[in-house]
Chain A
Amino acid sequence: MLSLTIREVSLALREGRISPTELCRRCLNRIKKTRHLNAYLTVTEELALKQAQEAEARLLQGVPKGPLDGIPFAVKDNFCTENIKTTCASRMLRDYTPPYNATVVQRLLDQGAVLVGKTNMDEFAMGAGSTDGAFGPVKNPWSYAAPYREQTGAEPDSDWVITGGSSGGSAAAVASLTSYLALGSDTGGSTRNPGALCGVVALKPTYGLLSRHGLIPLVNSMDVPGILTRSVSDAATILGILQGLDVKDSTTIPAPSSLTELPEDFDVKNMCIGIPKEYHAPGLSEEVIAQWSRVADMFERAGARVEQVSLPHTQYSIVCYHVLCHAEVASNMARFDGLEYGHRSEVNSSTEAMYASTRHEGFNDVVRGRILSGNYFLLKQNYQHYFVKAQKVRRLIADDFKHVFSSGVDVLLTPTTLTDAARYSDFTQEDNRTRSAQEDIFTQPVNMAGIPAVSVPTALSRRGLPIGLQLIGPAIQDKKLLSVAQWIEQRVGFPAISQYRNDTRMIRKGADFSCMKRTVDTRNQLLTKSLITGTHNGLKV
């Protein structure tokens, strides 16, 4: 039951095969069993059971609020939840309880969805591993599944792999079957990256389509609430519920049309799939490339046009992203001064001294480092050289996408990450800045441009860890993007983690490592490979 999709479990609830309270209890139990993942910072057990009972009453009366009534969900701990701690995984907000709900949280609650908890993350969403939160790192559920254990002979609790980040807790919650849906936030890839590494669907909608009201910001001009689910169709359902104008967020845009269900038999014939040659970045693993070409082949076989395209300013994106990100971080973090809320230092010799020690004690090195460099970029003498220049490049990056989409390309197909998930011990060999630059390489240009993208799990790697691919679409065409994503989902045969669940020493039972077994038309493979491999940076495939 726990491994079902929202659509499936919603049907089960309506048909009375399970009650909302029973479903809720099972999720709460599973959360307890998977405590070692550190996916949740707060579990709202009491509230969840109360909500589940209310949902149950509605279902019994035959008046459910909608398809989400009674369905457990989790929320990243940077979305405000009324009377529920919201920490951003920071000492600064360790005991902070907001008095209001973020709009996206409220919209889910209004649908009768049951909040089971708040999920772990990198402190203030600054990171790409979910390793830099004040309350410990998140462990990837696939670390404990048979494929990884068997392929690597890894020892539990020593060789575990990261979830990616910064919404690692949310991705782990959905992947470990403790909630059917989780909200993440995506500023430079923070939803898609852990989505890919944890093998779940991760949607970053068009900027402005979802309200940011109540999302504690990282970069206001790039932040988007992200949706993590087990199926593309579920993501579309949630998008339909969350999207649209919010008077509390002036940057929201009207929903293009009420998003109904995705077509089951979407036809990609005559579509044009763009393969951006600049996405052959150094460090891209062979396995990811193999998946990339595998899916490209599928499109071509199905009658789509697969074309190599160029997004010429891509290589400048990450550095500009960092300049803009740090500048906004410096600004957004200014409010955490210990006066109105959050941590306040004992030092009280002067207001200034109190500010300084409050901020030193409350923020980790990563946050402090970004505040420092962000303020440097905003200084009068630096503003033109850094902030304005980065904004100009941002425009060029957005234009790159526009040009490609106006030249007839429907969607772009790219990797989501360079590799599958790294071991924690390996990942932490490099600092947060280096890792962010590596991990966000394929994801942040989309945030710079404000367009939608989705990461779809495609296969397990040789190490038994998920690999995801990213689809990027033009602004406001989220539905079309999801239709294509579903088309991929239907064909790649990504294995459900439930196949291996509950027994890490369990013998592999017919796991479909399709990435290694696939048979493809040789001609197509060669043709696509030549597209995929490109010539970038002399990378050998």
Chain B
Amino acid sequence: SVLIVMDSCQPDRNKYFPLLGTHFYYLIMSASCLAPPCPSAPQQLVGVVGLEIHAQINSNTKLFSGSPVRFSAPPNSLVSFFDSSLPGTLPVLNRRCVEAAVMTGLALNCTINRKSLFDRKHYFYADLPAGYQITQQRRPIAVDGELTYNLLGGKNRNQVIRKTVNIKQIQLEQDSGKSLHDDVHSQTLIDLNRAGVGLMELVMEPDMSCGEEAAAAVRELQLILQALGTCQGNMSEGQLRVDANVSVHRPGEPLGIRTEVKNINSIRYLARAIDYEIQRQISVLQRGGTVQNETRAYDSKSGETIPMRDKEGLQDYRFMPEPNLPPLIVYGDNASLPTGTDACQAVVVQKIREGLPELPSVKRDRLVRTYGILPEHSFTLVNEDGLVEYFEAVLKATKKEPRKVIGWVTNELLGHLKQQDMSVSQSKVSPPALAELLELQEKGHISSSVAKQVFQEMWRSSGKTASQIIQEQDLGLVSDTAQLHSICQKVVDSNPDEVRAVLNRLIGLVQRETKGRADPVLVKEILQEKTS
């Protein structure tokens, strides 16, 4: 789904594309985030942001049971005996989920732990049927990674600023069910469809300083996960859930007391929630108050964060090793498999590494290198699912230079898509059709302005080719001299006022040049001769 974006730093773009997706925007830093600290001023309070991200693993079945995983199925229709914690049931680890976590770990330059462990984390909650969640507290499957993400900065917002955030760990764990509170009848309804779905919890170190950085990091992660196919990454469906740990301090001083901001269901809200929270904490401190260590929820309507009712005061999760799951062992390569192990049953890091797809950053570099397009265009291409493929398909069918094609794809095509909340695959103009249009323009059959008009027409009456439209509407380039002569004459003759105005303005300019010393009659004569 597409979100309505109104970002103050891009007002004109909003005017043209009121429904433009967020993807343009977290590449662009707000002024507050970008401004270098003024060296003469006293040290300012700055924000420190870390993230805890829960990514639902894209798998057919749950982490420890054979129940199918699907969004928006009828309540409690995807629940196995294990998911509802029937006594005597035991967890059986889903290999696909392990492979997804290893693949994600590799894409984020993590160290993959050859041996990882599962633990129980206890708390009573209605949508946690067993009274504990199986997670990886002591030894997660992947540790010590990093994520490189980019911001567009500089005066013209065309300067790519590369940033890195450290990934502390990726742990496998179970999702909980969902509670629906019915306040009218004062009851809680439980849906266990989600209970037991595999999650990757990614912990990003507090290496970010503002909402835009966090948003850009999450967007890059989203792209990586989608490229890997390990998570669909849709935040509004809860496939990607982001909690932000926010604190403020003066650079060089210890970190301040942090709050945890939850209930953020889009990347845009993430940026806003964090920036709001940073400002809130700064004002609290400036008023002489102290920041409370608490959990706050983001209210997207008011744009504020508000304290959440503390569940049970201080939680002690009483972690304990999960006794029903032996240590999770992954193997470096086929050679390290113990004899008698079925290679198809084992998780082999080397095999997963070899199967890694092209990651977004590599793809962007390749696009810039191969086609000579601007870096910011490479971001636009990669951000939109299927746009790179579309762009390359157009290039294959036209001799037009990539640098000239890119504008058509990132402006005309994407603009139309966004306006109608469509994905690239739903485009009304196919790559060959666009290529045909561009060929006609390249060969001089139509002007560039007519080309844009034709594109709009193609979009409206989908199925018609560019040449059909040009023919039907008589939009071809006119190049008959005599015909053009008579048209021009007619225009000049029928617009005497315009001609006079132009002449007078030109006379004025000549007088300025000669500091008013030119003979006006002569000047008029000469200009009339020169422009006719």
Contact = CB atoms under 8 A, between A and B. Distances in A.
Question: Is chain B a partner of chain A in the same complex?
Answer: yes
Interface of A: 79-80, 86, 88, 93, 96, 98-100, 102, 212-217, 219-221, 247-251, 327-328, 330-331, 333-337, 339-341, 351-352, 355, 375, 378-380, 383, 387
Interface in B116-145: 120, 122, 124, 126, 129-132
Given A100-B81, A351-B126, A214 B316 contact: no
A323 to B, nearest CB: 12
B132 to A, nearest CB: 6
B323 interface: yes
Contact of A387 (B88, B316, B320): B320
B88 A375 contact: no
Interface string B294-331: 00000000000000000000001011100111100000
12 contacts: A80-B86, A80-B87, A100-B86, A219-B323, A250-B92, A251-B325, A331-B122, A334-B132, A335-B87, A340-B84, A340-B85, A351-B188
B506 to A, nearest CB: 85
Contact of A80 (B88, B124, B326): B88
Contacts of A375: 318
A378 B84 contact: no
Contacts of A220: 323-324
B88 A214 contact: yes
Contacts of A99: 81, 86
Given A334-B132, A335-B85, A380-B316, A328 B323 contact: yes
For chain A, what secondary structure do more than half of its interface residues adopt (helix, strand, loop), or is it mixed?
loop
**Which of B89, B130, B132 has the most chain A CB atoms inside 10 A of its CB?**
B89
B527 interface: no
Contacts of A216: 87-88
Nearest to A222: B323
A2 B352 CA distance: 60
Contacts of B84: 340-341
Given A247-B92, A375-B318, A337 B124 contact: yes
Contact of B129 (A102, A214, A340, A383): A340
Given A334-B124, A351-B188, A378-B122, 13 more contacts: A80-B86, A86-B87, A212-B90, A213-B89, A215-B88, A216-B88, A217-B88, A250-B93, A331-B132, A339-B126, A340-B85, A378-B318, A387-B320
Interface residues of B, number: 29
Nearest to B317: A380
B90 A331 contact: no
A213 B90 contact: yes
Contacts of A337: 124, 131
A379 B87 CA distance: 24
B523 interface: no
The 10 A-B residue pairs with the shortest CB-CB distance in the complex, in nearest-first order: A334-B131, A378-B318, A220-B323, A221-B323, A216-B87, A214-B88, A335-B85, A80-B88, A335-B130, A216-B88
A291 B122 CA distance: 47
A375 B317 CA distance: 10
B88 A250 contact: no
B91 interface: yes
B45 interface: no
Nearest to B85: A335
B92 A248 contact: yes
A102 B126 CA distance: 27
Interface in B97-125: 120, 122, 124
A79 B86 CA distance: 12
A352 B125 CA distance: 9
B88 A213 contact: yes
B291 interface: no
A339 B323 CA distance: 24
Nearest to B93: A250
B102 to A, nearest CB: 19
B320 A334 contact: no
A93 B88 CA distance: 13
A250 B126 CA distance: 27
B323 A335 contact: no
B190 interface: yes
B318 A330 contact: yes
A198 B402 CA distance: 88
A387 B319 CA distance: 10
Contacts of A330: 318
Contacts of B92: 247-248, 250
Given A334-B122, A378-B320, A387-B320, A339 B190 contact: yes
**Which of A215, A249, A330, A331 has the most chain B CB atoms inside 10 A of its CB?**
A331
Contact of A250 (B85, B120, B319, B326): B326
A248 B325 CA distance: 11
Nearest to B324: A220
Contacts of B90: 212-213, 248-250
B443 to A, nearest CB: 66
A355 B124 contact: yes
B324 A378 contact: no
A396 B325 CA distance: 22
A216 B90 CA distance: 10
B326 A383 contact: no
Contacts of B132: 331, 334
Nearest to B89: A213
